[in-house]
Structure 1
Amino acid sequence: MRKFILSSIILALITCHMGFTWSLPRIEVPQASVVYDVNGEAIKGLGEQNRINIELSEMPDYFIKAIIAVEDKNFYQHHGIDMAGIFRAIYVNIRERKIVEGGSTITQQTAKNLFLSNERTFLRKFKELFYALELERQYSKDEILTMYCNTIYFGQGAYGIEVAARTFFGKSARDLSLAESALLAGIPRWPSNYDPYINPEAAKKRQLVVLQRMQEEGYIDQESKARAAEEKLQYEKTTYIKGEAPYFIALVKDYLSKKYGEQMIYQGGLKVYTSLDLYMQRAANQALQSGLEAYDPNLQAALVAVDSGNGGIRALIGGRDYASSTFNRVFSKRQPGSTFKPFMYSLALYSGFTAADKIMCEEVEYELPNGDIYRPTDYGKEPYHWREFTLKEAVMKSDNVVAVRVNSILGPTAAASYAEKFGFSNIQPVLSLPLGASEVRPIDMALAYAVFANRGLYSNANYILKVTDRNGKVLEENRPQQRRVIGEDNAYIITNILEGVLEAGGTGAHLRNVFGDRIAAGKTGTTDEFKDAWFVGFTPRISCAVWVGYDKNRDVNISGGVIAGPIWANFIEGASRRLAEGDFYRPDNIRLLNICLDSGLVASESCPRQVEMAFVEGSEPEDICYEHREENEGSLDDGIFPWWQSWSP
């Protein structure tokens, strides 16, 4: 009698449901939005859960059969509700006077995962039945099974089979073995109890239950079951689950939330195509991790790389560990040290200077507007070199006194205004401007240096390329925005100067041991009292800024070339492996000449210190240096002298 009454109630509910919903529009199954990198590889779902949706064809057949055998063996026979299972569950729940057994089919569980909470009430159960019937009416069995496998919870923060496979076995779902599939299929019934990391014995017992059910249903034979039961499982978490680009994902999520709302992110199924390159991001992660592993755990860092040609963010790390600090230092202002010098020297070229012009490094003082006396000094034990530098060597050696003297000649106001053309704001017109007096962001430094690689064109930062809805309709599509900042010849000459930093005699020459003969240019930077360490540089394809320091302005006590430089070099080496080799564009009006660093004239064979320099045609030195000819006549050595042997005041 009891069964008859319960059966009648359920049939009445079904009838009512069909009567009220038959003409309703197709329900939209909530889908987490997905972010893709520039090559179409999924980075991470943007839902509230850690979930990556995959197709049924991407799931191993073993797992599909295991989940059906252990959760709902009649899945392909019923219409969403298993009457025998419901009667059994109702009887037990009435007897216990509380919800203790569900009797839910895979369709019901899918309905609960998609539309309902986990509250254990009769009202929620009735809602589950309605949604289950609606799912069966509008979707095929395979579609429902796909939804289920992508939404079930496996513990360890993993939702769906793809994330579960990566969480417990460090691999994609398609690569799971029978033994691994059976273990995962057993977890959803009680995730906390069957977690193999926490309770491996319970997980193993549950796996054996799943294998037994699979054999009983005829999915596997005795021999396969025995081999799977004996297989030793290796548990491993892939770094993918933590997120290979958490700071970048947070940036994307914030943008989407403001423009489309959080509900659209979590349930709208947006497809977000970005500029990030996961291959480069992995290279950045490795470079930062290896570069800082021997240092204080509280020491922070930021790395951002952009496409030199269009400003697209290719890699981004906003801190050492996103789990402990979500603050994105890529957008935090810090003093850049000598990495700011190229912008002032670009103005010097525009104003008529050449790379071969010479400026004396000696003690000099300036009276400031407030009456104070400013005396610039050089890095190192000796505050002055007491000799002349060509502008190129001054940059290669990072001479501070020469930079300040050139800035004084140009005028700090003019230099500050000129620097802001490169995308900076609030640059202070002070004499120490080229030494990094004004605070800037790593992202702005990467974009500004890209101007030199990109023929003088500035590109706005961009990271969202296209957004579509779940049906493929384009909601927005963004193109690079560029403007000319400097001429092509100016850009090339600065690039040539910065290439010298990475050559013999430059402050970054040691980095060649990391990335070999790859074409690159860059600049070291260290602020007063060693509070900030920088390296900013570029190749024809990538511009990258690396900052290392403490959040609370503690002294790093290490120069930029020593700690930030190797991180930059390792990133460039790794990120460039898949990129075609190329050179910087050289305008037709540029001439390359070997210049004697002592005289600033065209070098002869006798000049011991010479370097290639770039000039706008007509501005190059016309005279040849004969200063060292007599000194080297009759010499038995190789003709290479330290500067102090060949220099005279």
Structure 2
Amino acid sequence: MIRLLKFVVWSGFAVVCGLALSLSGAFLYINPTLPSVEALRSIQLQIPLRIYSSDGKLIAEYGEMRRTPIEFEAIPRDFIDALLAAEDDNFANHYGVDISGLMRAATQLLKSGQIQSGGSTITMQVAKNYFLTSEKSFSRKITEILLALQIERDLSKDEIFELYVNKIYLGNRAYGIEAAAQIYYGKSIQELNLAQLAMIAGLPKAPSRYNPVVNPERSKERRDWILGRMYRLGKIDQQRYLDALAEPVEVRLHIPTPELNAPYVAEMVRAEMVGLYGSEAYTEGFRVYTTVPSDLQSFANSAVHLGLQSYDQRHGYRGPETRYRGQTREAWEQRLAEQRSIGGLLPAIVTELTDDGILVLTSQGEEPVSWETMKWARPYLDTDNVGDWPKKPGDVVQPGDLIRVQRKPDESLAFSQLPTAQSALVSLNPQDGAILALVGGFSFEQSNYNRVVQARRQPGSSFKPFLYSAALDRGYTPATLVNDAPIVYHDSSMDEAWRPKNDNNTFLGPIRLREALYRSRNLVSIRLLQNIGIQYALNYMDRFGFPRENLPRDLSLALGTAALTPLEITAGWSVFANGGYKVTPYLIQRVENRDAEIIYQANPARAPKPGEVVADQAGTENLRTVSDAAPADDTQQPRIAEQIVDSRTVFILDSMLKDVVTKGTGRRALALERDDLAGKTGTTNDSKDAWFTGYNGDYVTTVWAGFDQPESLGRWEYGGTVALPIWMSYMGPALSGKPSRTLPEPGGLLSLRIDPVTGRAASAATPNAYFEIFKSEDSPPPLGELDAGAPGSPLPADEVAPIDLF
């Protein structure tokens, strides 16, 4: 017995020594390859990119992982107790490794022949999650143990726990307990009750298996087991335990949804950030605040949607998107599930015709659609023609038709259809170029093509103010008479002569420039360009930043045949709205890092304020992006933009553009009842593009409408019928309550009474004389310029292109 006892003792001693030697050898072998535990103190967890409006509304979130790190002090005590009860109840006492847990895992291995559990402590899981893979092997387990020992030596228990709860995956792209609380309950972890905290604590073991959304019964079993453990460990009393057990499982996904619908804005910012930071843009926790206020963006969204739907309904109903006639309700439900909402228009399948409308199947079940909302649906024949008014619902739809409906504020449904035409709206602060609203199309879900910055279209007459500005700087005045008469240009390279025309094929004869602009007379614009010279005009356009390669080098430039984006047009018009200063559009106001430190603050060049003394400075291109910005600080000095047009020229042109609103093609804008609006319509040949750009001192806004593949909007559709109503729908609420804001009158101007017939200074007896504004060095044009139009000589015929736009 003594010998047997000695053998057992010595054998045990040998085993212990062997294990010690093995562990020592493993430590000596593995230790040099172990990562530095100190790196955990400065570890940067992946946090998504978040984009906000200027007033803090969430626009979009980009990133694979939803995570909001939380400090240990902010973690509820009940959650700490729940998680430890579930994962590691001896956490406070061990040194990173729980021998009993390892022995339990070893026993399971011997019984089953497979690794079933690793006996891991929270510290060991931190080691694995931050430094290792999920591979199940003895070498990885040994490495995990050694790392856990080092972590316990270098970090406090609170630091280890904080690292763990911020890293773990808890299902539905939620990483960390704060993100999980937001996803499953729509609340912060600090707002959850005991039962909810226990539910979150049950997820780390198997996020998919115990997901309370997918498997509520299984997750409840796990929750109740954790509550029982907490009770047995003395962490909660019996009453709290029983109350928590009685709590129902009320969980649903609270996926972060944008608070502001601005997908085109979000995509522009995302592309900018990825261009600067690569894939780190999605993981470094940047918070980007744009220049876009939520109210203005909402006005813009509504204006574009209503404007396109109004245009679309004027041209009739094109029929159902598809027909599922003769199918069962189950089949209809399946077909409906395959559809998606586009631009707020919901898919629906007609199930029944009634005397006062129709019944449709939507995602919420069967709902009525009033006949009153269907009466617009005359059959579409072609762009210019529609059929007879429908007399009953059966004239419009039949059961099985897949249609579109729109939910109104009172939750009722209105009959609708997806517009085929598109529109773009962009609004800037003309004082510094800040983008205040941007809509790149009817629906980002339908098309992510951003027509504000990607679509180059002909601006038509909305480009004429740039030509008139060039003429005013060349010595012309608003009273200069130019002959609005037919012109024929011959070019030997063309089969036919070019005969440009006005939009209504009329000619007014000698006409003042002021009247020619608000009446949008094409022949006057051509004569202006001919006399000031194409090269001079092109050089003048360079000031506004228009790409030279997109400007035609012929007289068609006067008719707006350049290829420009709405944003380029709006930036150019900002010069007229701010008194002659070139500002550059920008979208990012500031960028914060994961610690809420501002790493970029926009400092755009701006137009000077009235009365502000401006020092002489060289004009330079001011492209404000995150990439060329220094870290934000409080020492940034305001930068004054380059003045590119004489403020007197701008003031005179501004008064002429106001006449477009009061007397010309923009008269509809009078409905806004403001005296500070100026603008210009634009319509290209065959009404393929419709424009309106207008402004006051607060906003300069451009609206374009047309088809992506250019085709006519219709015989009676113009900038004033398609684009201007959208512009008004935006500018009306945007300017509501704001005082009138116009340009201050600069020095060096004088006002003279002018004879409207001759354009000469009027005598006291001249009938219908009016006051006109002139630069002090300019005087009314003499009568001798009546026929020629202005100083200068015509271009040779070989510089004229046969283009016929208006």
TM-score normalised by the chain length of structure 1: 0.72
Matched, 1:348 2:348: no
Matched, 1:451 2:593: no
Opposite residue 265 of structure 1, the aligned amino acid is A
Relative distance call for 1:458 and 1:22 in structure 2 (3 A) is closer
Does the 8 A contact of 1:49 with 1:159 survive in 2?
Answer: no
Partners of 1:82 and 1:168 lie apart in 2 by 32
Which residue of structure 1 lines up, in the alignment, with residue 505 of structure 2? 383
Partners of 1:256 and 1:155 lie apart in 2 by 27
User: For residues 302-341 of structure 1, what are the structure 2 equivalents within 5 Å?
Assistant: 302-332=424-454, 333-341=456-464
Does the 8 A contact of 1:34 with 1:43 survive in 2?
Answer: no
Matched, 1:440 2:564: yes
Deviations 1:198-220 (A, max 9, x none): x5xx4487469648856956499
Does the 8 A contact of 2:60 with 2:266 survive in 1?
Answer: no
Partners of 2:760 and 2:75 lie apart in 1 by 71
Does the 8 A contact of 2:693 with 2:701 survive in 1?
Answer: yes
Matched, 1:251 2:268: yes
Partners of 2:487 and 2:723 lie apart in 1 by 31
Partners of 1:462 and 1:414 lie apart in 2 by 29
Aligned-residue offset at 1:100: 6.9
Matched, 1:493 2:652: yes
Partners of 2:502 and 2:73 lie apart in 1 by 61
TM-score normalised by the chain length of structure 2: 0.60
Does the 8 A contact of 1:525 with 1:535 survive in 2?
Answer: yes
Aligned-residue offset at 1:486: 0.5
Question: Secondary structure at 2:555's aligned position in 1?
Answer: coil
User: For residues 206-221 of structure 1, what are the structure 2 equivalents within 5 Å?
Assistant: 206=219, 210=223, 218=236, 221=240
User: For residues 80-229 of structure 1, what are the structure 2 equivalents within 5 Å?
Assistant: 83=98, 173=188, 202-203=215-216, 206=219, 210=223, 218=236, 221=240, 229=248
Q: 1:365 aligns with which of 485, 488, 501?
A: 488
Which residue of structure 2 lines up, in the alignment, with residue 407 of structure 1? 529
Opposite residue 229 of structure 1, the aligned amino acid is P
Q: 2:498 aligns with which of 374, 390, 404?
A: 374
Relative distance call for 1:65 and 1:422 in structure 2 (3 A) is same
Aligned-residue offset at 1:185: 7.5
Partners of 1:210 and 1:394 lie apart in 2 by 79
Question: Secondary structure at 1:374's aligned position in 2?
Answer: coil
Deviations 1:227-263 (A, max 9, x none): 96397x887766418x84444444344444444443x
Does the 8 A contact of 1:182 with 1:207 survive in 2?
Answer: no
Aligned-residue offset at 1:445: 1.3
Which residue of structure 1 lines up, in the alignment, with residue 743 of structure 2? 584
Partners of 1:410 and 1:17 lie apart in 2 by 82
Question: Secondary structure at 1:548's aligned position in 2?
Answer: strand
Question: Secondary structure at 1:285's aligned position in 2?
Answer: helix
Opposite residue 496 of structure 1, the aligned amino acid is S
Which residue of structure 2 lines up, in the alignment, with residue 417 of structure 1? 539
Opposite residue 561 of structure 2, the aligned amino acid is A
Q: How many pairs were matched up?
A: 609
Does the 8 A contact of 1:416 with 1:433 survive in 2?
Answer: no
Which residue of structure 2 lines up, in the alignment, with residue 630 of structure 1? none
Aligned-residue offset at 1:438: 1.3
Which residue of structure 2 lines up, in the alignment, with residue 538 of structure 1? 695
Opposite residue 370 of structure 1, the aligned amino acid is S
Aligned-residue offset at 1:377: 2.6
Which residue of structure 2 lines up, in the alignment, with residue 645 of structure 1? none
Question: Secondary structure at 1:240's aligned position in 2?
Answer: coil
Matched, 1:265 2:281: yes
Which residue of structure 2 lines up, in the alignment, with residue 560 of structure 1? 719
Which residue of structure 2 lines up, in the alignment, with residue 30 of structure 1? 45
Does the 8 A contact of 1:361 with 1:402 survive in 2?
Answer: yes
Relative distance call for 1:390 and 1:29 in structure 2 (3 A) is same
Does the 8 A contact of 1:301 with 1:329 survive in 2?
Answer: yes
Does the 8 A contact of 1:107 with 1:132 survive in 2?
Answer: yes
Partners of 1:596 and 1:466 lie apart in 2 by 54
Deviations 1:427-469 (A, max 9, x none): 1122221322110122211211111122211123334556576
Does the 8 A contact of 1:35 with 1:274 survive in 2?
Answer: no
Question: Secondary structure at 1:404's aligned position in 2?
Answer: helix
Deviations 1:384-407 (A, max 9, x none): 253655433433343333322322
Relative distance call for 1:81 and 1:563 in structure 2 (3 A) is farther
Relative distance call for 1:409 and 1:229 in structure 2 (3 A) is same
Identity %: 29
Does the 8 A contact of 2:490 with 2:498 survive in 1?
Answer: yes
Does the 8 A contact of 1:80 with 1:105 survive in 2?
Answer: no
Opposite residue 365 of structure 1, the aligned amino acid is V
Tell which structure's C-alpha radius of gyration is larger: 2
Which residue of structure 1 lines up, in the alignment, with residue 585 of structure 2? 461
Does the 8 A contact of 1:489 with 1:616 survive in 2?
Answer: yes
Relative distance call for 1:70 and 1:77 in structure 2 (3 A) is closer
Aligned-residue offset at 1:535: 2.6
Partners of 1:60 and 1:289 lie apart in 2 by 45
Partners of 2:673 and 2:110 lie apart in 1 by 75
Does the 8 A contact of 2:220 with 2:249 survive in 1?
Answer: no
Deviations 1:101-133 (A, max 9, x none): 687777777777766777777777777777777
Does the 8 A contact of 1:69 with 1:210 survive in 2?
Answer: no
Opposite residue 665 of structure 2, the aligned amino acid is T
The answer for unaligned runs of 5 or more in structure 2 is: 1-11, 313-417, 605-621, 623-640, 783-806
Which residue of structure 2 lines up, in the alignment, with residue 284 of structure 1? 300
Partners of 1:89 and 1:222 lie apart in 2 by 30
Matched, 1:508 2:666: yes
Relative distance call for 1:618 and 1:417 in structure 2 (3 A) is closer
Moved more, 354-363 or 482-491: 354-363
Opposite residue 355 of structure 1, the aligned amino acid is P
Does the 8 A contact of 1:60 with 1:176 survive in 2?
Answer: no
Which residue of structure 2 lines up, in the alignment, with residue 51 of structure 1? 66
Relative distance call for 1:127 and 1:308 in structure 2 (3 A) is farther
Which residue of structure 2 lines up, in the alignment, with residue 633 of structure 1? none
Which residue of structure 1 lines up, in the alignment, with residue 730 of structure 2? 571
Does the 8 A contact of 1:34 with 1:44 survive in 2?
Answer: no
Question: Secondary structure at 1:363's aligned position in 2?
Answer: coil
Does the 8 A contact of 1:415 with 1:429 survive in 2?
Answer: no
Moved more, 434-443 or 178-187: 178-187
